[in-house]
Chains A and B, each alone.
Chain A
């Protein structure tokens, strides 16, 4: 049961931290429409995270609620991949990070619909419809900026290169995932790599951007799935948790 909860929290934390990062754009988007889009995508991600947290709480019992996990765990207990916790940077940076992650979530949820766990499969089915829009949004921006002005192209290419080393972790299986795979609950993320690379390569080609080949086969960052995070994670949690840590259990 502990492993199952760990797996569900991995799914929840991915969406939660991604949603939180995108919410930081609220009021700062380069145009009103983009601002609203990012807030809506953020909301979808928080919604998916909430479904997973609720499910984890229902299994764990013991007074746990959907709020226990995001509000009271410390950095080392979070199971999200490193990619989603990286800072927003400029708009091209956020679009590159989102594009890599949206493309992953698209293929991931497509496969996760086959989970033997009915609730996980249901959340995957629901989220896939939403992630399809997210991927469309971030892909369009990668193309628009990549195939745009000299400056936008350079910024988009830099962003695409910069996040590359954080994409390997998406396709590496943690011990928790391996255990859950044996029970048919998790999926084998390493099998998603080819589909993901094709999605990425097709969009980058349309964007007239270079696929980050020079780093291919190189070294990838990892650690998020086992709780070893970047230095940014603590700052995110400080922002997310300060209210509940100051006034535990407060509601409004």
Chain B
């Protein structure tokens, strides 16, 4: 009989296809793991409504569990409470930065309005500037560093 904890460990092997250094656990999208007899239900919260990665993530969760002999898996969506970057793990944020994406800098209730300071993930300078609210995906904004002149993505607080 498999336990919730064992499944949680397996989910550490399921990565976000858009940001392949983050696992679903790092993202904080796994809301619940429900085991009834030999059936497993994984409840996830979508990051953004139209995020094309969610479909892929659900498929990857099934494949990962199947490869460990768990055949009856259902992935369901829970919209409320809405996912927030506050649920992202600290180790997830560190991995993001090493990968070259500035991690969310603030908790939602501590957002400084338009005065967000976003350090460059390359040279760590705080002399950076917003280029566009939307980057390569809905969850990211596009910044540039005025110090090292590199552009970079910022995983925005949401």
A and B physically associate: yes
Residues of A within 8 A of B (CB): 19, 33-34, 36-37, 40-48, 50-51, 118-119, 121-123, 125-127, 129-130, 133, 136-137
When chains A and B are docked, how far (Å) is the Cα of A242 from the Cα of B12?
A: 42
When chains A and B are docked, how far (Å) is the Cα of A44 from the Cα of B52?
A: 10
- Our pick among A36, A42, A44, A136 for the contact of B135 (Cβ within 8 Å) is A36
Please tell me if the beta carbons of A41 and B49 are within 8 angstroms of each other in the complex: no
Question: Chain B at the A interface: mostly helix, strand, loop or mixed?
Answer: loop
Please tell me if the beta carbons of B138 and A40 are within 8 angstroms of each other in the complex: yes
When chains A and B are docked, how far (Å) is the Cα of A126 from the Cα of B158?
A: 11
Q: From A119, which residue of chain B is reached at the shortest CB distance?
A: B79
Q: Which 10 A-B pairs have the closest CB atoms?
A: A47-B50, A47-B49, A43-B50, A122-B80, A37-B134, A33-B132, A122-B79, A40-B138, A40-B134, A126-B82
Known: A33-B142, A51-B79, A121-B80. A126 touches B133 (CB 8 A): no
* Most chain B beta-carbon neighbours within 10 Å: one of A34, A44, A136: A44
- Our pick among B80, B137, B138 for the contact of A126 (Cβ within 8 Å) is B80
Interface flag for B51 (CB, 8 Å): yes
Interface flag for B112 (CB, 8 Å): no
Interface size on B, residues (CB 8 A): 21
* Most chain B beta-carbon neighbours within 10 Å: one of A19, A33, A121: A33
Please tell me if the beta carbons of B132 and A37 are within 8 angstroms of each other in the complex: yes
Q: Identify which of residues 46-61 in chain B touch chain A, using a CB-to-CB cut-off of 8 Å.
A: 46, 48-52
Interface string of B125-147 (1 = CB under 8 A from A): 00000011111111000100000
Please tell me if the beta carbons of B133 and A136 are within 8 angstroms of each other in the complex: yes
When chains A and B are docked, how far (Å) is the Cα of A121 from the Cα of B80?
A: 8
Please tell me if the beta carbons of A137 and B134 are within 8 angstroms of each other in the complex: yes
Interface flag for B69 (CB, 8 Å): no
Please tell me if the beta carbons of B81 and A46 are within 8 angstroms of each other in the complex: no
Please tell me if the beta carbons of A45 and B132 are within 8 angstroms of each other in the complex: no
Other A-B contacts than A47-B49, A126-B82, A137-B133, 20 sampled, CB-CB below 8 A, are A34-B132, A36-B134, A36-B135, A36-B136, A41-B134, A43-B51, A44-B48, A44-B138, A47-B46, A47-B50, A48-B50, A51-B49, A118-B80, A122-B80, A126-B80, A129-B82, A129-B158, A130-B49, A130-B138, A137-B134
Q: Which residues of chain B are near A125, meaning CB under 8 Å?
A: 79-82
When chains A and B are docked, how far (Å) is the Cα of A119 from the Cα of B158?
A: 21
When chains A and B are docked, how far (Å) is the Cα of A136 from the Cα of B156?
A: 14
Q: Identify which of residues 78-99 in chain B touch chain A, using a CB-to-CB cut-off of 8 Å.
A: 79-83
Closest beta carbon of chain B to A225's beta carbon, Å: 23
When chains A and B are docked, how far (Å) is the Cα of A167 from the Cα of B80?
A: 30
Q: From A51, which residue of chain B is reached at the shortest CB distance?
A: B49
* A and B contact pairs by CB, cutoff 8 A, 11 listed: A36-B134, A43-B50, A43-B51, A44-B138, A47-B46, A123-B79, A126-B46, A126-B82, A129-B82, A130-B48, A137-B133
Q: From B82, which residue of chain A is reached at the shortest CB distance?
A: A126
Q: Which residues of chain B are near A19, meaning CB under 8 Å?
A: 50
Q: From A136, which residue of chain B is reached at the shortest CB distance?
A: B133
Closest beta carbon of chain B to A217's beta carbon, Å: 35
Q: Which residues of chain A are near B48, meaning CB under 8 Å?
A: 43-44, 47, 130
When chains A and B are docked, how far (Å) is the Cα of A121 from the Cα of B79?
A: 9
Closest beta carbon of chain B to A233's beta carbon, Å: 22
Q: Which residues of chain A are near B81, meaning CB under 8 Å?
A: 125
When chains A and B are docked, how far (Å) is the Cα of A50 from the Cα of B55?
A: 13
Q: Which residues of chain A are near B82, meaning CB under 8 Å?
A: 122, 125-126, 129
When chains A and B are docked, how far (Å) is the Cα of A122 from the Cα of B83?
A: 11
Q: Which residues of chain B are near A126, meaning CB under 8 Å?
A: 46, 49, 79-80, 82-83
Known: A121-B80, A125-B81, A126-B79. A44 touches B50 (CB 8 A): yes
